[in-house]
Structure 1
Amino acid sequence: MAQKVTIISAPAGSGKTCLLRAWAGRSGQQFRLALVQVQRDQHDAQEFWLALLDAIGHGSAIAGRVEPRAATPDFNAPAMVDRVLSELADAHGGVTLVIDDLHELNSPEALSQLTRLLTNLPPRVHAILTMRHDVRLRLHQLRLAGELAEIRAADLRFSERETRELLDASGIGLSAAGAALLHQRTEGWAAGLRLAVLSLAGHPDPERFVAEFSGSDRTVAEYLIAEMLERQPPDVQDLLVRTSMLDRVNGELADLLTGRPGSERTLLELEDAGAFVVSLDPERTWFRYHHLFSDLLRLELRGTLSEEVPALHRRAAGWFTVQGQVVEAIRHTQAAGDWPDAARLLADHSFSLTLDGRAQTMQTLVGAFPKGADHPELALVRAMGDLAQGRLDQAAAHLAVAEAHVQATPPDRQRRLRVAVASLTLSLARRRGQLAGVIEQARFLASPVNGQSGGDIALGSDLRAVALMNLGTAEAWTLGLPAAPDAERHLREGAALAREIGRPYLEVGCLAQLGFASLVLHSFATTQRRCREAIALAERYGWGAEPVIAPALIMLAANLIWTGEFDEGERWLQRTRQALQTDTGPDITLLLHQTAGILHAGRGHHRDALEELGAAEYLGSQLADSQALATRTTRWLLATQARLGMTGEARALLGALDDERASSGEIRNALAVICLAEGEPAAALAAVADVLDGTAVILGDVTVIEAHLLAGLAHRELGDQRAASQAAERALALAESDRLVLPFAITGSRELLEALPRHETAHAALLADILDILHGSPPAAKEESSLPPTEELSPGELRVLRYLPTNLSRPEIAGELSVSPNTVSTHLRSIYAKLQVRDRSSAVRRARELRLLAAGRTR
């Protein structure tokens, strides 16, 4: 413990676990222990890290943790290591991490990240690793720094004196020569000595026994274990042999395999007798056999009960299925040789296993099927793995096989498989940007999946929640008003179902996409609130840097950038980059580059903006049906090129667009920027004319704001200050409700606004805020203690509220709304009470803080 890390590396039976238990159980132990037992043949890095986090939580008494650890299909290993290091640093007192059987961790990713953890352990934190052989950990820095202690087989061998002490403590009467011979023959191997002591106990001729065997290899263990096994009663032998096929066993499962009750008592007695049976939990309900003992018992099983082995595996598979331990159930079904059943079981549980973060284990199970065997059920599982790795063409091919197989399946399973295939098809279509036609074919996903049993219903709920999330996500990514209400409804239903069935990953996923979907239907205020709610829930489960929350992170960043909070928006952009470290899809990454581009453009950093927007344009070209996203990117790319004087490049890109895109309001605005850069203000006015008169197709009100500003800049160059001021005033009027700043920054409208007489504008406060930001002053900090309204404002009150920033009197507001002045007065009193203010200016200020001035609109 003088070093940071201790490695105990020695073959099976060397006494590693016994050494650890003895050390941990000594009196006066100063460090809290966080013990992780690596499960046999563990492939999923996430499973290991979650177990490590739980162990730290139990062992280090960290206060304030309330949420359980939960798995995510989008595992971000670097972020997980940072989280472990943070929790270790926050732990009270010293902590010792104990990782037993590390050689069973078959995940190169997990071992790589474990290296980073071990080389960056906080003060008063130590680690002890046990393994049968060295694993690929790059700990040379610790070794050179003298921070690595290594205990190996030679260190664990018994000396001749220790062998004598063991014999004496066990009551074995053996001569000094016999003890020396026993030590020589076993070479001090702990397991060999322990087995010899068990066999020597009560032996009529200990000296002859020692003389009759030689060597310290596996043959000694086989001989000694066989000797010990034969001395057990027949029912105990039968229990040990029949249950040896299990990695772990409890009394109920042992009773099932032996056909007799009382197995738990027998297992407890065997552990108490030191017969190579070890309990795995404090309650002593689960047990495992020593690996050497287990291997020999399995040889005995195949030799004496070979015909019963498949039936035993089927019984175990049935028990594990009922217990919900599906991986063990599939493994035993495979061991029984029931390959079609194993394929069906794996396909039925593939979504649940993915949600449990066991995708790698799932692919390992797929690899265990015989080569060349035709199991079309596995096409679904293979498609899931391909999607996760970004192999879209392979995923499409496997989905085609799975879809063809659906028609041949029994009716009771056909519906479930059809939903699974359609859900994955939607996910694939979104990744490719090929949503046209796919969504309509998948509308049936919104209806429930009916099951006959509780297990079927549970599986159906997992599947339906995933389907609702995928359907709502695909609808949201069309970025069109017709699909927006459906997207919102399906994502809300998916979140509610996920909450009901205890699937927080799906709930977070639905809420994150709901924040993204708000872009089309709702105000910036609603979008920001939804994004923050999704992020808060994700952080409760430690997923603040996982791809699942990226849509909410990027939309919050964009929201802040549009309202002029550039520094805060940049911080959320950085969070998004961290979350996308393990994401392989171009869609959300396109949004990241696009948002970074408009941030640079808003700050006037056009070279940086060009680089980001060029990356977004390239990604957009990979998405077949990304018309709305592509138009947004192209519009800003064209404008940025023009502002850099690259009008020739901009004209060339503009000429390559099809007529439909070229006539859109966004591209018309970009053309106006090009014209202004070329010194043609009249041509710029002509370019935005269709936007201003409402004949051009636009993506949202932001396009109209931008068109007014470009028109104002053109009028100003033509010497018509009155028209320029009128255009600026119209832009301010549209920007008022959401307090939009970016259009004014990105169009370079500072001088246009400065020329606007303050006494003539109805938006003096917003004008002042925008000019402050354009002059480099950050926006005023919000009051963190600012409380929301005690009650929500009614639709009538909201309509009145939106006229308060103007110069209109109460009778004039009444005239605009076609209501009586008394009605306006009544609404005003209610607004003041709910906003907890006393006058009109305070109400406007408070409404801006709460983003209540925003009306529902498209962007």
Structure 2
Amino acid sequence: MAFPLVNPSQLRPAPLTDKILARPRLLQRLEESASRGCRLTLLSAPLGYGKSTLLAQYAASLQTPWAWYRLDTADNQPLHLLLHLHAALGQATPERNLMAADEARLWSAILQRLEHAADHFTLILDDLHLLRAGRARQYIEQLLRFGPPGLHLLAACEGQPELALSHLRREERLTILDARELALDSEETRQLANSRGAKLGADALYYELRANSEGWISGLLFWLTAYREQPPASQSRRDLRHVTRQAYAYVTRFFEEELLAQLPVELLAFLERTSVVQTFDPTLAGILSGQPDAERLIRQLQRRDLFIEQRPGERVEYRYHAVLRDVLYQRLQQRDSQLLQQLHQQAAAWLLEQHRYSEAIHQYGRARDFNAVLAIAERHTFDLLRDGQINALVDLLSEVSGQSGSDHFTLAITEASIIMVTNDVSRAQACIQRLQQLQREGVPRHPERVQQTIAYLRTLLAFLGGNLRHGQVLASRVLLRYPQRNAAGSVLQFNRARCLFHLGQLGAARTDVETAVQELESFGFSGFANIPHLLLGQIELAQGDSPAALQRFLALERKSPAAASRNFYELFYHLGLGLVFVQQNHLEKARQCLAKAETLALGFPHSAALGWVLHYQACLFDAMGDSRKARTRWDEVRRMARQFRQFGLYRLAGAWRVRQAVRERDEDFILQWLEEWHWCQRHYGEDLLSGEWLAYAWVQRHLGQPAVAGQILDNLREQAEEENNRRLLLDLWLLDAALRRDRGEQPAALACLDEALQLAVGYGFGQLLHHEGRELTELFRQLLLPQARRQAGLDRPLPPRELLATTLAGLGSEGSAHPLLEPLTRRELDVLRRMARGQNNQQLADGLFVSLSTVKTHINNLFRKLDVTDRDAALRAARELQLLD
């Protein structure tokens, strides 16, 4: 049988242009996978996630030999596959037509080429999912099992390839990057827009784009194309709704051409019918599709990687990517709207039987069955929040607006419950007015519950607005007047705890929030309880009990129910874990947790939690020394907080931002912030955020008013000691050290730093060198020198070296993570190593060709630098500091 010639286009990556988005975090993942000896690194995601581009970027960065091959369906003929692999490896193309009998010769030549390749050789295979025939797959499997040690296979596919990979997973030689990891984050979304010449202005638009696309790069590219195609006359004020409609048309056409047109009729019908729900399991899929073997069709979707995701949890559930689901839904709606209504009714009935009330309401709302909506709301008001599908509830309220029964009391209570999550100030004010009107009309059967609900909405407004003392007093008054034990009272108590916490009253806040958590969980609101659990964890962190906070958030993660996947409440334990890891100085872990929280927050109303997540991300970037990202995040938080009238968050972010401005000598922002500070002081007196007082003290030091800063310091220290707020005490010791250094009081400054160091080591605070602590680095170095400690009169011994190494990581010489502040010379290291081998002083002198007195000088220098008095102690310290091999 004759065989066609080699197709050279399959042997090279697509060219990279200057518009290609750089993705260093993913390139680093690929490099790490290769460096730790993985045999296969797999990019597994649906089409349009930038897999081929990432492979090309990685190939361009390689300093070692590599070969590229893009597979197609013809490669299921083994001879075609081997011929192209042979050519990809740079071997001469056979001059004659090949026959099936030539397979063995080609395969032998390929193996010989790989065996004689460099120690590190990368074979890049694109579109690996197209390789399905057993005989062709066997050749790739042989490379995976028996290829030379230096061979690294890097492949991209849609779904899992039909290869035997279990042995690689067992041996930890397999790395898989899936759609979650390939999805763009917010910063990459911004960079992509900039690379395409789209200056979008408000940061909120970047977050909106990422949320709507779920980080799918092709969807973002279509939107940016539509954005650039706006007529020049409208460049100054583009109609973003028109841009979105045009982008949707492009995406629809893309799916039609690249995906849907290739599907069997049966599978396409299944996709359309199941697109009416946000998630489904095989049973619900069978009801909607009318297919008794729905599991078989789901497996086909997974095998083709048709934008389907299996959600974690005990109950097997699936979801489509939001963009594809919307395209499928619109196709069905345009072709058969009557069938669509029928499917919504079927889905609603099944979901109601499964006690998934929020999803059932969403389906009845889509079916325009408002009587069913109101009936469910009547019976399951607070149950609606349990699933955490906040968007479905927001849609409900939008759909019933203006319908018969829209002034329904239970709906008003439901809206009040949603507002506790979405933090929508305008809606809260309107809800209060509606409840008061219903109360005047005598509709409610339980007036005390109405009063509690109105009160918790008012305390929420007070908290969001930063009027903390008013919120605390209002909650106390209503709790005293209406002591009934119910969910509304628990939420009211939680709101009081939030106000107390930000006023610095940790003890009272802890009492309130512990009671609220216990009651909410006893009422069955375990999902909503994640929010007060976060506050409890923050109190534990402030008091220096990070192990308890860590266990709290890990426990929340473990007990998160299957239905909670991608729900709103899930983001709170990711956020909590991020705060713990920042305090413990595990900054990369913190970044990953906060990134997960951000991804979840983007999927819900931005007023709900996104601002808080961005604030803590800014704190993290500031701790990492990335001032640009920190500044950008805080500016975005303040813009967003002003938009949603969340002035408490606005002020908190401003307090952190002005501390950064002081370090950067940003006088314009300092003056702007001072105007805001004086306004707040006139309106709230002493009842300001603890963080605002601390920031004001740093500003006053910067302005040359140390007496004012010192008075604030004394007031805050009294409060911190009374409330066991050790985190605040740590900050105050750093401020005190800076003030004393300014006055030239070196011993006193060192004494303050010693207090901070002992506190940090004793309670696991790993952030001494974050924020302002970074500017005290030289003072910390002095603190660890024995001579400086003696001169400062510091008799208390330093903490153990291993704890110092953790607390002051990066303080040592040449970026090392140990506190050896005066580095050893090369000759001293040589003496140390010879001492470790047991040589005495005379043997040291003979081996180094120096005098005995010179050896003694080196040993004395070693003892001084290691802060020890004998050889054994010196060797122990050297091993702790990893100075010896």
TM interval, short-chain normalised? 0.3 to 0.5
Higher relative contact order (CA 8 A, sep 6+): 1
Structure 1 length-normalised TM:
0.46
Q: TM-score scaled by structure 2?
A: 0.45
